[in-house]
Chain A
Amino acid sequence: MAGEVLVLAESSGAAFRKATFEAVTEGRRLADLLNVREYVLAIGNNLMDHVSELGKYGADNVILVEDPSLALFHPDYYRQIALQAIKKLNPSIILAAATSTGKDLAPRLAIHLDTAVASECTHLELENGKLIATRPAFAGKVLLRVRVNGTPSIATLRPNVFTAKEVVPSKKPTVEQIQFDRPDSKMVVKEFVTQGAKKLDLTEASVIVSGGRGMGGPQNYKILEELAEVMGGVVGASRASVDAGWRPHSDQVGQTGRTVSPTLYIACGISGAIQHRVGMINSIVIVAINKDPEAPIFGFADYGIVGDVFEVVPALTREMKAFYGK
């Protein structure tokens, strides 16, 4: 049968990413609208024990391809497996998370299938079986609505925008395991090095505590790390503090950094220049702490405290500790 919805799952270690559950939830919604089944293609290593989680979010069928050489994303291996599955299944819609893997892989598939991908979508609609995707462009200064006219219609979904929602009752997906025959490749994927102790990426975090020029220097980010830790969040940075060499680029929120949409974004010593604003404006709640009452950030923050970050942030950490009973 043709016309199914296919979601490309992504794992990190031996677990699926939160962004994958968001995509499976959205895929379920589309499959129901089209009255078709939702398939999930899971490529990785040691994922068998986690397949039931995909059912929780609505997957009818799981195609599982496991091999130690698939633990990390390998463009040639993943592309070959996905193309093979797609040609067999002939889906009408393909979804993936707009992560480093999804954004690398989806265009490779599209060019081989002679179709197109809408990147980093924030909303999807269906029209005559094709996707109409809403996606930010110019770093969110405008929203495009684009029709993906090729077949299949492919989209990558911006993490933290779609909500992962369990279906009731849970699905018990049919699992089909496929043997992996490693193809020749001119690429060797060597090793993954974690960046510090950071467990979560900015794009997947639900709380971000971000620091800007007002932090004064790299040594002062400790107070932000303490606050983030109490709240189970991660630390971000403005371009000014990254350009000054205080924080790595991977921490940068904004037009030439990450675009984030956490539940809570706490901007500390950040003025709120347009290039930063576009990277975090879709956060659900924005808190700004800045000593300058005229800082542009107060124009779009939900809650603001005018004050010295070196006094307010430690006080906030203490208050949050008390709140969480830590």
Chain B
Amino acid sequence: MRRVPDTATRIKIASDWKSIDTADAEFVINPYEEYALEQAVQLKEKLGGEVTVVTLGPEKTTQVIMKALALGADKAIHLKSDRIPDDPGSIAKALANELKGSEFDVLLFGKKGVDDDNQQVGQMVAELLGIPCITQIVKLEVSDGKAVARREVEGGSITVEASLPAAFTAEKDLTVPRYASLRELVAARKKPIVVKDIELPQSFIEIVSIQNPLPRPAGKIVGRGVDAVPVLVKLLHEEAKVI
């Protein structure tokens, strides 16, 4: 699980032009991990077992960990580092180090973080652990040591079976996350959080600079109603040259 700025937050580039100024940002659980967490809780409700949330990030990650515990996780492991590395491989190695040797059947990730948009960590962790990983899933069924998942791809979907333990990365359609009740928020405070200080593995990605995208020049209103349609077609053909 990753702590990310809320998608409605305005993203401000820091004065070094190499990082994001998050001082005013509101932080939330990465939306794709909310779908994954909901899936984990649903599996627990159906098949039993326990849900552990593992996250890597700074001290302040505690706030989103509490939220995850309120949403149905039983306990949390917080790998504490001063920042989230820019290289997904570095994150994956830290997570795999923690997961190596621990027992689980299903390892769920969001397909990507809505901050760095890399879409890499889930399959990297699975490769490091030597377990199957099915990415971008919209449906998951687990029974008898086996999982059947449907992954969304261009123009359709593909069904993939995997023996457990296995990893999956959640697409938006996987589940509809629940809301935590006040009672669950209070109960979350009693759930265990294991905090471990970690050294970040080497990063092969270096941010050279961050810039704002070029603004799009304002266009023109061609007209009102159906009368404007022939003018539009003419402009698309003669001016924009796209038809």
Binding site for B on A (CB under 8 A): 12, 72-73, 75-76, 79, 99-101, 103-104, 106-108, 110-112, 115-120, 132, 135-150, 185-195, 198-201, 203-204, 231, 248-250, 252, 255-257, 263-264, 274-275, 281, 284-287, 293, 298-308, 311-312, 315-316, 319-320, 323
Distance between B43 CB and nearest chain A CB, rounded to angstroms: 19
Contact present for B123 and A285 (CB under 8 Å): no
Binding site for A on B (CB under 8 A): 5, 7-8, 10-11, 13, 20, 31-32, 86-89, 92-93, 114-121, 123-124, 127-128, 131-136, 138, 151-163, 166, 171-173, 203-213, 216, 218-226, 228-230, 232-233, 235-237, 240, 242-243
Complex: how many Å from CA A129 to CA B191?
50
Residues of A close to B117: CB separation below 8 A? 119-120, 135-139
> Would A319 and B229 be within 8 Å (CB), given that A100-B154, A116-B87 are in contact?
yes
Contact present for A316 and B229 (CB under 8 Å): yes
Contact sample, A vs B, 11 pairs, CB 8 Å cutoff:
A75-B134, A100-B136, A103-B119, A104-B136, A108-B127, A116-B203, A143-B210, A186-B132, A198-B155, A302-B240, A305-B223
Contact present for B213 and A281 (CB under 8 Å): yes
Complex: how many Å from CA A173 to CA B133?
34
Name which residue of chain A comes closest to B240, CB basis: A285
Complex: how many Å from CA A295 to CA B186?
42
Residues of B close to A316: CB separation below 8 A? 229, 232-233
Complex: how many Å from CA A117 to CA B118?
9
> Would A195 and B219 be within 8 Å (CB), given that A115-B204, A142-B20, A303-B232 are in contact?
no
> Would A303 and B151 be within 8 Å (CB), given that A108-B123, A111-B127, A189-B158 are in contact?
no
Contact present for B233 and A323 (CB under 8 Å): yes
Residues of A close to B240: CB separation below 8 A? 264, 285, 302-303
Q: Which of A118, A201, A323 contacts B155 (CB 8 A)?
A: A201
Distance between A199 CB and nearest chain B CB, rounded to angstroms: 7
Contact present for A257 and B172 (CB under 8 Å): yes
The count of A-to-B residue pairs whose CB atoms sit within 8 angstroms is 259
Distance between B133 CB and nearest chain A CB, rounded to angstroms: 7
Name which residue of chain B comes closest to A188, CB basis: B161
9 A-B pairs with the lowest CB-CB distances in the bound complex, closest first: A201-B154, A116-B204, A107-B120, A150-B204, A302-B219, A190-B159, A307-B225, A315-B226, A100-B153
Residues of B close to A108: CB separation below 8 A? 123-124, 127
Residues of B close to A79: CB separation below 8 A? 127
Complex: how many Å from CA A115 to CA B153?
26
Contact present for B219 and A300 (CB under 8 Å): yes
Contact present for A147 and B205 (CB under 8 Å): yes
Residues of B close to A299: CB separation below 8 A? 218
Residues of A close to B10: CB separation below 8 A? 141
Contact present for B89 and A142 (CB under 8 Å): no
Name which residue of chain B comes closest to A252, CB basis: B172
Residues of B close to A263: CB separation below 8 A? 242
Distance between A242 CB and nearest chain B CB, rounded to angstroms: 9
Residues of B close to A204: CB separation below 8 A? 154
> Would A146 and B205 be within 8 Å (CB), given that A101-B153, A108-B127, A120-B117 are in contact?
yes
Contact present for B226 and A287 (CB under 8 Å): no
Complex: how many Å from CA A142 to CA B20?
9
12 further A-B contacts with Cβ under 8 Å, apart from A145-B208, A192-B153, A306-B223, are: A107-B127, A116-B203, A142-B11, A144-B210, A257-B172, A263-B242, A264-B243, A275-B7, A300-B219, A301-B219, A303-B219, A316-B233
Complex: how many Å from CA A190 to CA B131?
18
Complex: how many Å from CA A118 to CA B203?
12
Name which residue of chain B comes closest to A249, CB basis: B173
Residues of A close to B160: CB separation below 8 A? 187-190
Contact present for B216 and A281 (CB under 8 Å): yes
Q: Which of B31, B155, B211 contacts A256 (CB 8 A)?
A: B31
Contact present for B134 and A195 (CB under 8 Å): no
Name which residue of chain A comes closest to B219, CB basis: A302
Distance between A39 CB and nearest chain B CB, rounded to angstroms: 22
Residues of A close to B172: CB separation below 8 A? 249, 252, 256-257
Residues of B close to A111: CB separation below 8 A? 89, 92-93, 124, 127-128
Contact present for A187 and B219 (CB under 8 Å): no
Residues of B close to A248: CB separation below 8 A? 173
Contact present for A307 and B86 (CB under 8 Å): no
